[in-house]
Structure 1
Amino acid sequence: MRLLHTSDWHLGHVFHGHPRDEDFDAVLAEIVAIAQESRPDLIVHSGDLFHHSRPGIRAMTRAMGTLSELAAVAPTVVLAGNHDSPAYFEFFGSMTGPSRGRGLFFADQFRPAHEGGVLTFDACGGEQRIRLAVLPFVHPNRFWQRSATDTSYADYAEGMRGLQAGLMTAMHEGYDPDRDILLFAAHVYVTGATRSPGERAVDDDFETGPENLPEVSYAALGHIHRPQPVRGAKSTARYAGSPLAIDFGEADHFKSVVIVDAEPGRPVRALPRRLSSGRRLTQFTGTLDELRVSAAQYDGTFLKPVIVGEEPDMLLSHKIAEVVPHAILINPAPAREADDDTVMDSDPGEEPELPDAFRAYLAREGLIGTVAESTVTAFTHLLNELDDETLPPVHAEEMLRAALEDIWTEAS
């Protein structure tokens, strides 16, 4: 049995004002070519198909076009990640399903085994059978507990273990060790996984240990952008990672998909297949003369230059552009000494992520340390709860609308 594992496409991502349509088209075409060449029995995308919960029409068109090409090769299962909208995924699933190619399946939210939590596929001409348990992103609110005296989150890892246990029990019903291969796919943060510096912090209360992953032939994980194996798991588990670098914190990552070969009763072989498409994210610190010497290596890249020995003026960007005319410059700036009063580590003009901006605001108000971080975590959770549902009406807005619809004029 062969599996192709990909994840975290983040379609619709705009990099410092630059749409990445060209990069997405290139890397997705590379993934399709790998699928056509390797001829897997199953393809799994382990979440964060989109960068925003309300993806634009271009992102949705690109997603469905690529997934249809993959489904023409093998059944393709897509999990909803924390960036994805379960409602959108439910709609996509209602419009595709087994009728699309060899089958295109969207796992919108956690479902018990009998409601789509466990999927079964034939492999190797029917000689083998794949049983796949799917666990899309589970928000901590699922484990919210309220009592007469307290309101708190239940233990996230314990809650996740309970959901997984039900799926595993169902997968073992009628299990044939000479024929069946058990797989698990989830969008989850596993303790100890290496995050890139740009990835949002994950609250320790909302992660699960590697020992909590179920014992299967292979666990296909999404959420972390750096491709890596999971240490300490009972079986082979990997993050496929994102196919493109999302920010400069991922500039040194190699990007990949994972090809997994498995047979009943034998060790699994999971090998990353490196991706090379898409423009690179690069950084440079030095003088203009040093940049001039190495200018050719930055052709066609997104370049974040920090120039030493130059005064900040209106002409600096033009000077840099003359040195590297074929690079896309991101926030060119002169080198500067660290300011003790600086709250955020960001370049002038760089738009921070909302949680970082909120953290800076708290620091200016004198709130730092553990209390500040717990407040930022709560703020981030609220952001992640936003979905595609219509917001409730605001009373003042309704009164204003009614007034505008019933305009009167003063009697003469």
Structure 2
Amino acid sequence: MRILHTSDWHIGRTFHGHSTVAALAGVLDALVAQVREHAVDVVIVAGDVFDSATPAASAYRLLDDALLALHETGATVVMTSGNHDSAARLGFHSRLLRDGIHVLTDPLAIAAPVTVHDEHGPVHFYGVPYLEPAIVRQHWIDDERALRTQAQVMQHAMTLVRDGMTAHGGRSVAVAHCFAAGVDATAGLEREVRQGGLDLVPLSAFDGPDYVALGHIHGRQQLSERVRYSGAPLHYSFGEQHKQRGSWLVDLDAHGLASVEWLDLPVPRALVTLTGPLDEILSDENAARHADDWVCAVYTDAVPQHEPMRRLRERFPFCALVQHQPEGADTVDERSYTQRLRSAVSDVDRIEAFLEHVRAGHGATEREAELIREVLDDRVRAEALV
């Protein structure tokens, strides 16, 4: 059996205020083409199908188009909910999806698999939706005292999966949405992911199935030969710009996992970060090659520049983010700044200390010093008239 593991579509998410619906539609078209080209039997979407619990109409249309296109390839679709999308909204019409499209959002049905047959017999797919401990412990009342963390609820859920495996026999695949131990933190973490012990699920929790398809992390990850994250199909932040986009192509033979191959997906618009003084970024002779890229400009001038976004977009139409990070700012000692403030004998000294602190050691210019003195003198005169 051939399986395509994808996740974290985040339909409806914006990229620094720009809609990603059209770009994602093109990427999902390419994914459907891969399903057809590689004769995929089952497509897994491991959570966060939507970016919001209340998706816009355009998000529903894109999902409908994608599911219809996947259905037309002949592949079965197995989809679970994540922490961004609403299990209730994603699964509200799941009872109507009988013909090869399965939306698994019910924690009470974890042990009841979707079964797909090939020439070697059945393969059982167990869907584990994103599990919020405060919500799901009411369903598993006998374990209420124990189920306080994400690790505990996921371990309980995987126990249910293994119970299902015992009852049904045959090969098995688990689909889950969580933050597992061993993830490289540079792979593109979710905004809401906490890296503390509360949300960390040990790798041992996933023992049992022939393959475990995980979602929640936006960069591909291999935690073991059979436990993997596929990442998101589209770049959703500049922190992800160097991460490949794609899916895992998984083959099962009669005995279980046979092979796993990575399939790249196209990147509709490349992401690039340009760093340096603003004038240098604007005058770079190689800048033209980034005219069609999403640009994050990190300018290192000592002082903030006038209308940097407007100036950058004249050169880079798709400049999406501007950050002012003065060169050497990370070397400024917070403690010495506090001590200097305490020892300052005048407002001029305090202002100078502040400017040097936020400008990486660069104080007021001659003209700024004149303006500061004028403002302070005007304040003294005003107070004298009161």
TM interval, shorter chain, is 0.7 to 0.9
Q: How many residues align?
A: 321
Of 280, 292, 295, which aligns to 2:287? 295
Alignment of 1:178-193 (within 5 A): 180-193=170-183
Q: 2:351 maps to what in 1?
A: none
**Unaligned 5+ residue runs, structure 2?**
335-386
Alignment of 1:352-367 (within 5 A): none
SS of 1:165 mapped into structure 2: helix
Alignment of 1:240-389 (within 5 A): 240-265=230-255, 267-287=257-277, 288-290=279-281, 292-309=284-301, 311-324=303-316, 327-336=317-326, 337-338=329-330
TM-score in terms of structure 2 length: 0.76
Say whether the 8 Å CA contact 2:2–2:250 is kept in structure 1: yes
Q: 2:127 maps to what in 1?
A: 134
Task: Please state how far the C-alpha of 1:198 moved relative to its aligned partner.
Answer: 6.1
Say whether the 8 Å CA contact 2:116–2:122 is kept in structure 1: yes
Q: How many Å separate the matches in 2 of 1:81 and 1:158?
A: 17
Q: Does residue 33 of structure 1 match 2:25?
A: no
Q: Does residue 108 of structure 1 match 2:77?
A: no
Alignment of 1:32-111 (within 5 A): 32-73=32-73, 74-95=75-96, 97-99=97-99, 103-111=100-108
SS of 1:215 mapped into structure 2: coil
Q: Does residue 173 of structure 1 match 2:170?
A: no
Of 213, 216, 233, which aligns to 1:220? 213
Q: 2:116 maps to what in 1?
A: 121
Q: How many Å separate the matches in 2 of 1:153 and 1:261?
A: 35
Q: How many Å separate the matches in 2 of 1:118 and 1:307?
A: 53
SS of 2:92 mapped into structure 1: helix
Task: Please state how far the C-alpha of 1:310 moved relative to its aligned partner.
Answer: 7.5
Q: 2:354 maps to what in 1?
A: none
Moved more, 292-301 or 66-75: 292-301
SS of 1:68 mapped into structure 2: helix
Q: Give a deviation string over 1:63-83, Cα, whole Å, max 9, x none.
A: 111012112221101100011
SS of 2:249 mapped into structure 1: strand
Say whether the 8 Å CA contact 1:112–1:167 is kept in structure 2: no
Moved more, 250-259 or 286-295: 286-295
Q: How many Å separate the matches in 2 of 1:63 and 1:92?
A: 13
Task: Please state how far the C-alpha of 1:265 moved relative to its aligned partner.
Answer: 2.1
Q: Give a deviation string over 1:179-200, Cα, whole Å, max 9, x none.
A: x321111112111212326633
**Unaligned 5+ residue runs, structure 1?**
342-412
**Which ranges of 4 or more aligned residues in structure 1 deviate by more than 6 Å?**
none
Say whether the 8 Å CA contact 2:251–2:257 is kept in structure 1: no
Say whether the 8 Å CA contact 2:9–2:232 is kept in structure 1: yes
Q: How many Å separate the matches in 2 of 1:41 and 1:333?
A: 46
Q: How many Å separate the matches in 2 of 1:162 and 1:45?
A: 22
SS of 2:201 mapped into structure 1: coil
SS of 1:39 mapped into structure 2: coil
Q: 1:310 to 1:156 in 2, by over 3 A?
A: closer
Q: 1:374 maps to what in 2?
A: none
Q: Give a deviation string over 1:212-260, Cα, whole Å, max 9, x none.
A: 10322111111111111114xxx61110100111112111111111100
Q: Does residue 162 of structure 1 match 2:144?
A: no
The CA RMSD over aligned residues, in Å, is 2.6
What is the percent sequence identity of the aligned residues? 24
Q: How many Å separate the matches in 2 of 1:197 and 1:158?
A: 21
Partner amino acid, structure 1, of 2:92: F
SS of 1:277 mapped into structure 2: coil
Q: Give a deviation string over 1:304-361, Cα, whole Å, max 9, x none.
A: 112344753434334323333xx411233444235767xxxxxxxxxxxxxxxxxxxx
